[in-house]
């Protein structure tokens, strides 16, 4: 399988920055480099970046599908072949870190390693083979990182916010009440959540986390639940309703909270960005057109129905979906459809960003190297 390596520089925007700053600011060569690596159930991804005002400047990146969680649902263990694929990808990451002389980094593993009975042995194997020290983070931290990475996409008019991160092995949902935060401070209030969902460290207006949940169903694990169902449409419907049932203990679902004016969903995942690219008719993915795009529930449903009409072979050949995504797109779409069915909206913002961006922001914020911004 070909590696997906992106080396084009880009600026990640945080609250307080302006479009002109994004275009004109040059990163000082003396700025220290930071790295963030996210080892998930399906992919291994890394960013290397420099702080730049109240933003950061990406100087190198890496992404590869490793399918670490393949077979985990049935055996409870990471397979030898999956671990070998993953270590191969991590060796490339290690070389990039060494090439750039990175000293400040966080390297994390998520749901697959949280669930696998042999995860500790695997983490030790990674250190022996690559020298990299990965940490398995709890689900709450994974949810926090997704939230803060998406803060720049939150409208100042948003009062109720749902952040959705559809991963390979789990899906994190965080419902945030911003109604008591002044509009001008709402994005900053979300950024403050990197300190913890229940943090109370200063007098800054608080973003209230109504509830959060980590559902142990992502695009890979949900698909594995229904591998024995051969009918494409029936499998999709079963996956969608099965995911909805898993939200029974999520307070906004249990209490029947309805969407209204001032409600916004921000979705981050390969599923969400693929649906957005399909909606735009992009045969070649363009992050600049996808990140920050707003979609309505009917637009999302139209794309999903077009996927169903294509069938498995049609999806495999569709350039909008891509060869690495076609096998998992319908399980991700089932999750997305369930959420749109429960909380229909005309404001779902698409985020081509996630845990790595959240990790970088948290590290830089902790070190005090990011400016506060206006």
Task: Please indicate, yes or no, if residue 298 is contained in any of the structural domains.
Answer: yes
Task: Please indicate, yes or no, if residue 371 is contained in any of the structural domains.
Answer: no
- Residue 23 belongs to what domain range? 10-139
pTM of the model: 0.85
User: Per-residue DSSP letters for 7-70?
Assistant: ---EEE--TT--HHHHHH----TTSPPEEEEEE-SSEEEEEEEEEETTEEEEEEEEEEE--TTT
Give the per-residue pLDDT at 22: 29
Q: Are residues 134 and 220 in the same domain?
A: no
Residue that finishes a domain, picked among 117, 139, 161? 139
Identify the residue whose tokens are 């000082």: 28
Give the per-residue pLDDT at 17: 37
Q: Are residues 243 and 217 in the same domain?
A: yes
Give the per-residue pLDDT at 279: 96
| Count of structural domains, the chain | 2
Distance CA 200, CA 279 (A): 41
Q: Are residues 199 and 281 in the same domain?
A: yes
Task: Please indicate, yes or no, if residue 368 is contained in any of the structural domains.
Answer: no
Q: Are residues 115 and 246 in the same domain?
A: no
Task: Please indicate, yes or no, if residue 147 is contained in any of the structural domains.
Answer: yes
Q: Are residues 157 and 264 in the same domain?
A: yes
Task: Please indicate, yes or no, if residue 93 is contained in any of the structural domains.
Answer: yes
Residues across the chain: 374
CATH code at position 80: 3.30.420.40
Q: Are residues 148 and 269 in the same domain?
A: yes
Cβ–Cβ < 8 Å for 44, 37: yes
Q: Are residues 131 and 239 in the same domain?
A: no
Identify the residue whose tokens are 């083979």: 129
Task: Please indicate, yes or no, if residue 370 is contained in any of the structural domains.
Answer: no
Of 135, 90, 111, which is closest to residue 40 (Cα–Cα)? 111
Q: Are residues 270 and 156 in the same domain?
A: yes
Task: Please indicate, yes or no, if residue 83 is contained in any of the structural domains.
Answer: yes
Task: Report how far apart, in Å, the C-alpha atoms of 213 and of each of 162, 228, 260, 262, 324 are.
Answer: 11, 28, 22, 22, 27
Q: Are residues 306 and 224 in the same domain?
A: yes
Q: Are residues 38 and 120 in the same domain?
A: yes
Task: Please indicate, yes or no, if residue 325 is contained in any of the structural domains.
Answer: yes
Segments of the chain scoring below 70 in pLDDT = 1-30, 199-203, 372-374
CATH code at position 235: 3.30.420.150
């Amino acid at each position: 399988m070909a590696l997906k390596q992106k080396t084009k520089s880009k600026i990640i925007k945080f609250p307080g920055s302006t479009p002109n700053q994004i275009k004109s600011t040059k990163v000082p060569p003396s700025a220290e480099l930071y790295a963030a690596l996210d080892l998930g159930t399906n992919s291994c991804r890394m960013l290397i970046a420099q702080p730049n005002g109240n933003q950061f400047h990406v100087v190198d990146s890496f992404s590869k599908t490793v399918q670490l969680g393949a077979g985990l649902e049935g055996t409870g263990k990471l397979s030898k072949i999956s671990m070998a694929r993953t270590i191969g990808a991590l060796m490339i990451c290690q070389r990039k870190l060494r090439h750039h002389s990175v000293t400040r980094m966080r390297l994390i593993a998520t749901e697959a390693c949280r669930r696998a009975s042999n995860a500790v042995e695997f983490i030790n194997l990674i250190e022996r083979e690559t020298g990299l020290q990965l940490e398995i983070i709890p689900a709450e931290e994974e949810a926090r990182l997704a939230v803060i990475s998406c803060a720049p996409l939150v409208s100042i008019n948003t009062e109720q916010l749902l952040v959705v991160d559809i991963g390979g092995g789990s899906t994190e949902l965080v419902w945030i009440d911003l109604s008591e935060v002044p509009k001008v401070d709402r994005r900053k209030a979300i950024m403050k959540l990197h300190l913890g969902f229940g943090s109370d460290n200063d007098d800054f207006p608080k973003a209230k986390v109504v509830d959060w949940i980590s559902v142990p169903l992502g695009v890979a694990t949900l698909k594995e639940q229904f591998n024995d169902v051969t009918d494409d449409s029936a499998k999709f419907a079963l996956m969608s309703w099965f995911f909805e049932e898993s939200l029974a203990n999520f307070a906004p679902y249990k209490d029947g909270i309805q969407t209204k004016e001032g409600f916004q969903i921000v979705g981050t995942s390969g599923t969400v960005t693929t649906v957005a690219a399909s909606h735009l008719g992009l045969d070649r993915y363009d992050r600049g057109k996808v990140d920050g795009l707003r979609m309505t529930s009917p637009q999302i449903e139209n794309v999903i129905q077009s996927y169903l009409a294509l069938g498995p072979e049609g999806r495999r050949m569709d350039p909008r979906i891509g060869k690495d995504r076609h096998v998992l797109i319908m399980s991700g779409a089932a999750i997305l459809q369930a959420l749109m069915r429960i909380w229909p909206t005309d404001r779902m913002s698409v985020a081509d960003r996630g845990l790595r961006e959240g990790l970088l922001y948290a590290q830089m914020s902790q070190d005090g190297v990011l400016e506060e911004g206006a």
